[in-house]
Every structure is written in structure tokens, then in C-alpha cells.
Chain A
């Protein structure tokens, strides 16, 4: 059985004293947290340990003794061994080190049933269990025992600040599994912060060695910020609650308003940011590592967003850019309309040599031309107000770049509304035709769709049904190329607009959800996000124990991004490619970007 002892690097040169730490249950290992130096009063040590245990809720105990004899301290050995009687433990470690040598030596004393301190029994090849051995004679046994103890050195500050992620196959593992040895060790060190507050310059009854902080922050500005943050959070929460109350007024729950506000991406982004701010400004401190990272990510991405928005604003309101934009908008809309008219005239002729039915062609073409005429009149009506609208709309960029982008996406949607209308008309007509054709084709063959059994069955039709059915089938079949062509053209136009909107939405989503803080942490302080550990052999001399150095393995950047993404209404394509093409073929209306609602925690 191998005993693993986690030893802090800061205690390598500590003076002799007592080891305080924790035995990890279920595994054969111990974590050493601090060394309390001689001279001490045992009752005070016990009291201190109990106080620390109550504060930090870690099962602290005195693990054993540590001796690094300096000049004039040779008699410590027996004194430290006798300490094992004062502190009743199951196992007592006696670790000693000589100045100038790298390796430690360790003895483990066990208690047997009689309460006497015994040496750890060693299983040799003969498999004899020796109890009742006193400490003296076992030079050879001591050597065998020393082989079975491994010292793992760790840097206390890094392990204290780090968070061990349990990732299995790329998915964060649930915490309900029995925690492994490493995660227990990390938790122990992280939770023992009260233990580390005792400074070496304090004037207390005990002197200890452990990780020391460089000194608490004494900067005035930081203190002021900390003091001011709580009332600020309260103020923002109060404002947010008023805003939410306004939004939930009855007048806004009417159907048209609610429908519009769920479709306009500006409103969606607004509600989303409200959620974020509410999560950020809750007066409770973050419970746990995940909450803290979530809040930090939200704050950083919000600040970056606002900074980019202010940058955009400064560009926009300088040098009359808004007027220039407004002056190009109306001619651009006119140009688009003219292009569409030319397209329709082309379709009404004989496009690409295809055989169109002249009558239907003319009807559809004139219908769409009239729509375009209406649209152009509308644009010309609005043209005096466009500059004003742009000016006020640009102000929204101060809330963040995401708002400006959402506003742009909404304006594009409004300006290309006629394309959307055409697409819907064409798609509906085409869908109806395809549906009718498929049903009449079944009639042509003498079959029918059995709704109950969801299959095609044979059916004997009446003569008049057959007659009318065949006539209609012929009519629909010969009118198919015309309708299909119009449908194809308008679907392509609509897809272009959808693509553009999709790009905007993706970038908004990216700004919303990318965990900047986590990535920054991974780059600057990579030990705080730990994926695992790696060991390096420090000292492997035959006469002493094995010494390993534990180094923290940071998470991969991709795992960081995946784990700490803020859940958003991520726009992802709702259908796979095959389903999309099938829908296009049949004529169903496609809305390719689906808005997922935010996940509630």
C-alpha cells in the first residue's frame, strides 16, 4: 500500500514542528496544509485546530511531526516522537529532512487495538504480519517502508486558487460522482483559506508556516469601489424591476404587440440584456465557481460591447456620416425596385427559353409589378424622415454594439418586406399546386391516401370524380413550370436576405456569448482553470522516498470556451441540409434561423 503525502513547497525549509492537514478519506493519502513550529502549547494547538475546523468546515487534524534539525537541535527527534502520545491519531507521520540532502525520510506509526503505538507492518514476500514491534530494530523495514511513501510537492497558492474541472469526453462531469482523490485535495486546499490568514508577523500564541499573501489590498480606490458596489447594484436592480414592470403592463400583452416584439430582434436583445443585468446585479455574492465565472463573463462582455458601440457612435456622428447614409438609402431602394421590375419583365417573356403559360405568366407578373409600385410609393413617402430615424437609431449604439446590429437587422427586414411577401405568395401557390398534383396523381393511378393507416390504398372512384380529377391534373401539370419558376426566383431572393440577417445575428450572438473573461483568465493565469495535473520526478534516490512535483495542467482553450459560454438564444440552423432542400422542393415556408429561448438555470 502506497501512502501519498501532499506537501506544500513553501514548507520545504520550515523549522521543525507539527504538521497540520487532512487525511483524505477513502484513499491512502494526506494533505499537509501548514507547519506549526516549536515552541507551542499542545492545548492551544488543539484549540486552534478546532477553531479552524469550525471556520473552514474542513476536517483538520494534526497529521504528525516535521523535523528539519538545524545546529543545536539534535535532541528533537525523541521529543517529536513522544508527541504522538499527546495527539491521539490513527496514524502518525514522522517526516524528517537533513540539511543539504534533497530527500525526506518518513516513518508511519500506527495504533493497534491495544492503543500502543506500533510501526506500520510491512508485507514482505513471506506474508508475515508483525505487530508489537517497537521502533528501534527495523532498519531494513524502515527502508522498505520508505519506498512505499510518495511525497507530492504542490504550490499552495496555485492549488488554492485553481478550480479543477472534471471533463469526461468533452462534457463537464456532474459533481454527484464520488469525488476523486485529486478533487478532494483541491477542495481541501481551497476551503482552508481561514487557515492561511494567520500572518507570520502576527503576535499570536502559535507560529506557523504556510502560504502567505503579499498583504491585503490597501488601495483606497479598490476599497471605495467595493463599498460603492453594493448600493450601485441595489440601484440598478431597482431600475431593472421598474423596467420589467413597465414591460409586463397589460397593454403590451396584446397579441399584435407581443407578436411584433418577439419577432424584432432589437426587443429580443433588450430583454436578453435585462436578464443579464439582473443576474449581474443581484446583491448576493456569487455562490460557487460557475456563478462567479458567469457573472464575470457577463460583465466583461457587456463592457466590451458598450465600448465598441461608443466607438461606432463616434464614427457615425462625425463628418455628417448619417446624412450621407440617408442620402444613399432611398436611391438604393429605388435601384433594388428597378432591378426587381426588370426581373419580372424577363420572367413574363420567355426566360431562359422555358415554356411558360402565357396567361398565367401575365397574371402573376402584373400582380407582382403592382406590389413593387406600392412599395416604391411607400419608400418615397418615408424619405424625409429617414435621416431623423437614422439619427435617433444611432443613439441606441450607446447601449452596445449588439443593439446597433440588431437595429440594422430589423431595418433590413422592414425594407425587404416586399421580397418576403412575394416569397410567401409564390411559396403558397407552389405548395398548393404540388399538393394538388400529388393527390391527383394518386387519383390518376386509381389510388387514395388512407389517413387512418398512413399509406396509399387502391380506391374505386366514380366516373365524375375521375373525369374532373383528370382534367384538373392536366391543368395543374401544364401550369407547373410557370409557378415553379416564379417560386424559384423569389425563394432565391429571400434566401439572400435571410443569409444577410443570419450573419448579423451570428455576430450578435457571438458578442453575447463569448466568454472573454474565461479566455483571458486562461491566457494570463492559466493555473486557475485546471484540467488535471502532471507529475515531475524531483528526487528518486534509492535510500529515500520518491518525490514528485505536481504541476497544474490548464484546460484547453476550446474546452474553456465550450464550458463557459453564456447560454443565449443561439441562432443555429433549425433544419439539416437534407430537410431544408426537401422543404424547398415541396414549397413549405422556411424560417431557417431558429431562436432558442434562454435556458433557465
Chain B
């Protein structure tokens, strides 16, 4: 149908404008919009699969809660820095062992880091942190407590938001840096230089090394991954509950909404999707260009 009801002559209309045709320029025939496709490439989500993936987000939230719990204990003097240091060291070694076991299971040809390089990194971390801890301790002396708390909260939030949940292999610099900044701010509030050192080592463990291990577990043993996530969430809620019940309740609510409610919303709202595609979309290159590399 055209916009003006002119019956078409014997010549058929072609969808070109560079030829003079007996039709007006804005004429369309009955094949209008036949190339329109709706909701192409839409995925069907299954609820429990999404819940399993969302567990990762909840797990990270609980990690932050665990860190804050440890800091609260240190600040109140209930946890001594030496104890924390030893615990971190041991769990670090355990984690490292597990990591190496998981790595040896794969036969990929990419260059593995040698044990020597790992030892070197660890030495650098520890010596640097130990050397700088007196300086770090006096950093926020003159800043008021509220400011410190606010800064740390903002930074931890930034860490959670920018964490690379889907693909941890390009390392998310902003998330790690934000978490470390927040931990430095909090650690400088503690009463001694050793406290600061212990807190920073713990932060390194929790925010930098733990996601690596988790990623390996997720790749190699997906069934165990879910169990680990659930375990971490429970520990987080429990730890926070020992310090402040209100916080524990809030955390539980947050975990519940992230892990259970949001996937439900996602699945339910899929049916309201209405995307249209057609030949007017931008071209996507589907060719495999790797043949030019070899």
C-alpha cells in the first residue's frame, strides 16, 4: 500500500531511488517491512543457572563483609596482629598450594609463572608493606573519622561495582585499587604500625589473591564453586552478626535480594523484551579474521 492510493502500473516497483520510476519517492508496496525480525538472538534464561552465577556477586559482597569484620575486631583489640598475620600466612600458603594443584591439571601451553617469580612477588609485597607501614599509619592522623569512614565506604562500593564478575582474566585494575585504597584508609586508623601491616596483608589476601583462586576453582571444579560461594556467604553473615546484628540482617537481606530476587526479575522480565532487527542495523563482521594472522 502506498501513502496515496494510486494503483500501480504494469511495471513492478523496485526499492531503488537512482532510477526514475513511475511511482512517487515515498511509495512502498505490500512487501513493506518484510525483513523486520523481532527479538532475534534473545536468550532463554533458566532460573537456577542464573542464581548460581549470581552467587558470585553475593560471594564478593560477603568477602567485603568479612574484611570489615576483621577490621572491627582489630580495632577493638579483640584480635592481635600477630594472630592475624600468622593466619593470613597459613591460609595464603594453603591457597597457593591449591592453586598450584589446579594449575597442574591443565595442559595449556601458555607460560606459567615460575615459583621463583611468585616468591619474588611475595617478598616485594611484604617488604614494601612492612617498610611503609609507619608512614601509612600516620597518613590519616589529621583527617576526621567520619571522612575516613565515608571514603572507605565509597571505595569499597566502587570495588564491588567495578569488579570483573564475568571475565576476571583482564584484571580489573580499578576494583583492586579501590579496595586497597579503602584498606589503607581503614588500616591507618589502627593503633600500631604492626596492626597496619597485618591489615594490609589481610586485604591483599582477601581482595587480590582470593579472586584468582576462585576463578581457577570455577574453571576446574564448577560443582565445588557453588559450595564455596555459599560457604563464604554464611561465614560473612555470621562474622558480621557477632559484631553487630543489625549489620548481619542487612547483609542477609542484600544477599537474598542479589542472589534470589534479581534473577527472578531477570527471568520474568525477559518476556517484555521487544527488540527489532533489520537490514538497517550496523554491519557486524562474522568472518573469522584469524586466517589473516597465520
A contact residues vs B (CB 8 Å cutoff): 355-359, 443-446, 460-461, 463-464, 466-471, 473-475, 478-479
Q: Is the CB of A475 within 8 A of B177?
A: no
Partner of B125, one of A443, A467, A473: A467
Contact pattern, B 16-52, Cβ under 8 Å of A = 1, otherwise 0:
0000000000000000000000000000000000000
Residues of A within 8 A of B136 (CB): 471, 474-475
Nearest B residue to A467, CB-CB: B125
Q: Is the CB of A460 within 8 A of B170?
A: yes
A sample of 14 cross-chain residue pairs with beta-carbon separation below 8 angstroms, ordered by A number, consists of A357-B138, A357-B141, A443-B173, A444-B181, A463-B171, A466-B173, A468-B124, A474-B136, A474-B139, A474-B180, A475-B135, A475-B136, A475-B139, A478-B140
Give the complex CA separation of A493 and B231 in angstroms.
Answer: 63
Q: Is the CB of A444 within 8 A of B177?
A: yes
Nearest B residue to A482, CB-CB: B142
Query: Is residue B143 contacting chain A, with contact meaning CB distance below 8 A?
Result: yes
Instruction: Name the distance in Å between A317's Cβ and chain B's nearest Cβ.
Output: 58
Query: Is residue B242 contacting chain A, with contact meaning CB distance below 8 A?
Result: no
Residues of B within 8 A of A446 (CB): 172-174, 177
Query: Is residue B176 contacting chain A, with contact meaning CB distance below 8 A?
Result: yes
Query: Is residue B204 contacting chain A, with contact meaning CB distance below 8 A?
Result: yes
Q: A460-B170, A466-B173 are in contact. Are A471 and B124 (CB under 8 A)?
A: no
Contact pattern, B 114-158, Cβ under 8 Å of A = 1, otherwise 0:
000000010011001100100110111111000000000000000
Residues of A within 8 A of B140 (CB): 478
Residues of A within 8 A of B142 (CB): 355-358
Residues of A within 8 A of B139 (CB): 357, 474-475, 478-479
Nearest B residue to A469, CB-CB: B177
Instruction: Name the distance in Å between A586's Cβ and chain B's nearest Cβ.
Output: 24
Q: Is the CB of A470 within 8 A of B181?
A: yes
Residues of A within 8 A of B72 (CB): none
Residues of B within 8 A of A355 (CB): 142-143
Instruction: Name the distance in Å between B114's Cβ and chain A's nearest Cβ.
Output: 14
Interface of A is mostly: helix
Residues of B within 8 A of A460 (CB): 170-171, 173
Q: Is the CB of A470 within 8 A of B177?
A: yes
B contact residues vs A (CB 8 Å cutoff): 121, 124-125, 128-129, 132, 135-136, 138-143, 170-174, 176-178, 180-181, 184-185, 204, 208
Residues of A within 8 A of B125 (CB): 464, 467
Q: Is the CB of A445 within 8 A of B174?
A: yes
Q: Is the CB of B129 within 8 A of A471?
A: yes
Q: A460-B171, A461-B171, A468-B124 are in contact. Are A359 and B138 (CB under 8 A)?
A: yes
Give the complex CA separation of A478 and B181 in angstroms.
Answer: 11
Q: Is the CB of A444 within 8 A of B173?
A: yes
Give the complex CA separation of A469 and B174 in angstroms.
Answer: 12
Instruction: Name the distance in Å between B152's Cβ and chain A's nearest Cβ.
Output: 12
Give the complex CA separation of A355 and B142 in angstroms.
Answer: 5
Residues of A within 8 A of B208 (CB): 463, 466-467
Nearest A residue to B175, CB-CB: A446
Residues of B within 8 A of A470 (CB): 176-177, 180-181, 184
Give the complex CA separation of A460 and B204 in angstroms.
Answer: 18
Give the complex CA separation of A446 and B163 in angstroms.
Answer: 13
Give the complex CA separation of A469 and B185 in angstroms.
Answer: 15
Instruction: Name the distance in Å between A539's Cβ and chain B's nearest Cβ.
Output: 78
Give the complex CA separation of A110 and B35 in angstroms.
Answer: 93
Partner of A475, one of B132, B176, B178: B132
Q: Contacts A467-B125, A467-B128 known; list 11 others, CB within 8 Å.
A: A355-B142, A357-B139, A463-B176, A468-B124, A470-B180, A471-B129, A471-B184, A474-B184, A474-B185, A475-B139, A479-B139
Instruction: Name the distance in Å between B19's Cβ and chain A's nearest Cβ.
Output: 47
Give the complex CA separation of A471 and B141 in angstroms.
Answer: 17
Q: Is the CB of B135 within 8 A of A466?
A: no
Residues of B within 8 A of A478 (CB): 139-140, 143
Residues of A within 8 A of B141 (CB): 357-358
Residues of A within 8 A of B174 (CB): 444-446
Give the complex CA separation of A494 and B140 in angstroms.
Answer: 31
Give the complex CA separation of A200 and B181 in angstroms.
Answer: 103
Give the complex CA separation of A475 and B200 in angstroms.
Answer: 14
Counting chain A CB atoms within 10 Å of each CB, the highest count among B125, B135, B140, B170 belongs to B135
Instruction: Name the distance in Å between A552's Cβ and chain B's nearest Cβ.
Output: 74
Q: Is the CB of B177 within 8 A of A464?
A: no
Give the complex CA separation of A357 and B177 in angstroms.
Answer: 23
Residues of B within 8 A of A461 (CB): 171, 173
Nearest B residue to A360, CB-CB: B138
Give the complex CA separation of A475 and B180 in angstroms.
Answer: 12
Partner of B138, one of A358, A443, A471: A358
Give the complex CA separation of A468 and B178 in angstroms.
Answer: 13
Instruction: Name the distance in Å between A530's Cβ and chain B's nearest Cβ.
Output: 71
Instruction: Name the distance in Å between B128's Cβ and chain A's nearest Cβ.
Output: 6
